[in-house]
Structure 1
Amino acid sequence: MAAVKPLSPLEIAEVLAKLQAVFLLSEESVVRDFMPSLGLGRNRTWLDRYLPLTGLDERSKNELLADGLSLEVVFALPGLAVAERHHLLDLFKTLRLGKNKQSELYSLIRDVCRMQGLSVGALLQQPELAEILAGAELTSTQKAERCKEALMRLRYPRFSRAQQAFHDLLKEAGVPPTLRISPSPFFNSEEVSIAFSFKSEKEFRHCLGVLQRLDAEGVIEKLVQLP
């Protein structure tokens, strides 16, 4: 027996809307008697989230029917102007993101737009992001990674500056790849982690020597004091 294909978010929205508009059922009845069979339980919040989807423009509705968008993005669409929706849909199509990565990237875009008072379109037209998206030599995966990095710098400018300064210090000090020095997450403490690997006593002593040199040159002190 063939598996039944799950309903797309738009199909669920249309079912809920028809139960009220065509069959004249009350919200209480829809929530109590029908939403559980749609996999939504009896939480009225889902009704408020799904119903606005029926008012989307045709292109956005078609994207919902394809069921390739994360629910976070789906429920954000009604709150955006048509042009803004299309900018977002074009972006996800270009980057070919899975649903989890869509949600992650959308959260960054939403936050940066709020912080800078920008529309989605204006944000994506900023030079760094526009250059990434137009890069013919980049794969969709590379574009997605670079877009995320650029948005992270915009969303967390202080953290990004500290991260870059940390990286620059290590590079200038000539730290070898066998020695891994890492800051605390988001630089929320002065703690610095150090790990190294070795295959011989000679390599072990070399790593210790590098650490002693970094300490003598004041690099360790600078790393601890960041940001």
Structure 2
Amino acid sequence: MGNVEYKQLDIKSIDLTDTTFVITYGFTLTQLKKSIEKIGILNPPLVKKKSREQYSIVCGYKRLLVCQDMGIEKLRCAIMGQGIEEKDTFLTGLFDNLSHRVLNPVEKSITISKLQKYYSGEVIVKKFLPLLGLNPHYSVLDRIKPLSGLDAKVKDAVVDGRIDEGAAAKLLNFSEKDRELLFQLLSVLRFSKNKQNEIIDNSYDIAKRDGCSISDFLNAKGLKEILTDSDLNIPQKGNRVRYFLRKLRYPKIIKAEKDFMEVRRKLNLGDTIKLTSPPSFEGDRYCIEFQFENMDDLEENLKKIASIKHNKEFKRIIEG
């Protein structure tokens, strides 16, 4: 790293708005402040001179924020030699962070964005993604990289684990207004990772197919009635919202499902016989399962199953 000089610096001379070498995001200072109040700063922040009277932060961003908040005016700092290249300065800060903690998804995205200034995509994928605890694949790079460009509240939700990082990255495919609507929907209904992606994917496909904005159907009366229904709990609202969007996205499949369920009800097969359709009606293989306790049960179930072939409505569904 070259020579490092230790010196008392006026905190005002350290530019806390200059985050050229900073990757830290999504933190609280409460515990750190208590520690500094009790034992002081054991590890001086590392800075680098950027002009005659100003310094940039390399390591110790949170420590400096706490000192500023506490009204500390002067602080002993480690000052990097000015001959060190910008790339190596950034790597110093990065490896310092990686040596004592795991970065959150947004910090990994910030890191990748800053590494792009110095390295090719291939080098980032092969060398740096594994260092960040990520698989060395371009698909991973494409999933993580966009996160740093999201609104602060979405990034905070990713850090807190309320929004899946992959789902959050997809929000950048929408306008600011539509992004806000989708984020609010995901936040209120607290969907799982897979369901978050389902909601976003279906919304995107509907908007693209119909040439409309997300607000055109997320503000629809039917959806608002679901969200404001006080008789429904959050999981129930979530299931109905998913069905609402699936119905818009796949109207033919939803109609086929409803028709099949109605015909199955009319067949009156009882509780011991289970008749299921192909998943999403993509295929032509139906399934019948049944349980029996004795030979009489077996005979009765077989009679019910045999009667299905004479049902005109069921025949219409099967044969199209």
Other structure's SS at 1:180 match:
strand
Deviation digits for residues 52-100 of structure 1 (CA, Å, limit 9, x no counterpart): 4333333223223323322321211333222222212211111112222
Superposition map of 1:109-148 within 5 A: 109-148=203-242
- Does structure 1 residue 176 correspond to structure 2 residue 246? no
Shift of 1:128: 2.7
- Does structure 1 residue 186 correspond to structure 2 residue 269? no
Could you say which structure has the larger radius of gyration?
2
Question: 2:318 is matched with which residue: 217, 224, 227?
Answer: 224
RMSD over aligned CA atoms reads 2.8
Residue 245 of structure 2 aligns to which amino acid in structure 1? L
Confirm or deny: 8 A CA contact 1:132 1:146 kept in the other structure: yes
Question: 1:102 is matched with which residue: 190, 196, 221?
Answer: 196
Q: CA 1:190/1:44 → structure 2, altered by over 3 Å: closer, same or farther?
A: closer
Deviation digits for residues 159-210 of structure 1 (CA, Å, limit 9, x no counterpart): 2211211111122333322221222233344433222222233332322332
Q: CA 1:209/1:40 → structure 2, altered by over 3 Å: closer, same or farther?
A: closer
TM-score by length of structure 1 reads 0.80
Q: CA 1:88/1:206 → structure 2, altered by over 3 Å: closer, same or farther?
A: same
Residue 25 of structure 1 aligns to which amino acid in structure 2? Y
Question: 2:118 is matched with which residue: 12, 16, 25?
Answer: 25
How far apart are the structure 2 equivalents of 1:207 and 1:34? 62
Q: CA 1:57/1:189 → structure 2, altered by over 3 Å: closer, same or farther?
A: closer
Between structures 1 and 2, the one with greater strand share: 2
Aligned residues: 220
Can you give the 5+ residue segments of structure 1 that lack an aligned partner in the other structure? none
Higher relative contact order, chain-length normalized (CA < 8 Å, sep 6+):
1
Confirm or deny: 8 A CA contact 2:275 2:287 kept in the other structure: yes
Confirm or deny: 8 A CA contact 1:13 1:53 kept in the other structure: yes
Question: 1:75 is matched with which residue: 169, 174, 197?
Answer: 169
Q: Name the stretch that deviates more: 84-93 or 171-180.
A: 171-180
Q: CA 1:35/1:161 → structure 2, altered by over 3 Å: closer, same or farther?
A: same
Between structures 1 and 2, the one with greater helix share: 1
Shift of 1:30: 4.8
TM-score by length of structure 2 reads 0.59
Residue 13 of structure 1 aligns to which amino acid in structure 2? S
Residue 118 of structure 2 aligns to which amino acid in structure 1? L
Sequence identity of aligned pairs in percent? 26
How far apart are the structure 2 equivalents of 1:187 and 1:47? 35
